[in-house]
Amino acid sequence: MPRDQDRISCRPGNAGDGRLRQFVEIGDTHVGRGVFARKAIRAGEILGEIRGEILHVEPDDPHYCMELPSGRVLEPAPPLRFVNHGCDPNCELFYWFDEGGSLQEDRLWLQTIRPIRAGEELLIDYCWPAAAAIPCRCGALECRGWIVDPEELHLLPPQAQGQGPVRAHGESSLERPSGS
């Protein structure tokens, strides 16, 4: 399939992190550091590879880790280490397959899935298993309330599911005022 060949041959993999730095910078968010667009970025733009260290032991802080297609665990290096979770993400991780549909290499890449404004924070859906879920403060209207794989949301304790989104400071609550 020539189209796939084209995609593979024009990927920016060997351009290094210089290309990535044209697109992103680290900044502060209400949940710690995050990654922001330096300029407007179109949908479908490949921003760069998730570089980092492949871990052979249990990480100190597994929240930063990403699973490679092979199942090995990658601890990303900055700046993409700081890409936060959003329940309504504007980016996604992907990896390359060859023509036969086999995994081409054990590497992860980040691309935009919709147009991004200059200054907007880049977000991916972490899709963590329920066992690793923590409350989500992404502030999206569709927020699941937890950083969790949507398929596993039902595995969380009932009282947790009933909590609803944990809203960012300053946002209005959806609860009705009680009495008076």
Residue 133 interacts with Zn ion (CB under 5 A)? no
Is the CB of 46 or the CB of 148 nearer to Zn ion?
148
Stretch that binds Zn ion, among 42-50, 56-64, 81-89, 114-122 (CB under 5 A): 81-89
Rounded Cα gap, residues 42 and 60, in angstroms: 35
Distance (Å, whole) CA 175 – CA 168: 15
| DSSP codes, 128-173 | --GGG-EE-----TT--SEES-GGGGGGS-HHHHTT---PPTTPPP
Compare residues 138 and 156 and give the one whose CB is closer to Zn ion: 138
Cis peptide preceding 79, ω within 30 of 0: yes
Q: Does 110 bind Zn ion (CB under 5 A)?
A: no
> Interface mask (CB under 5 A) for Zn ion, residues 34-73, using x and -?
----------------------------------------
The residue ranges that bind Zn ion (CB under 5 A) are: 87, 136, 138, 143
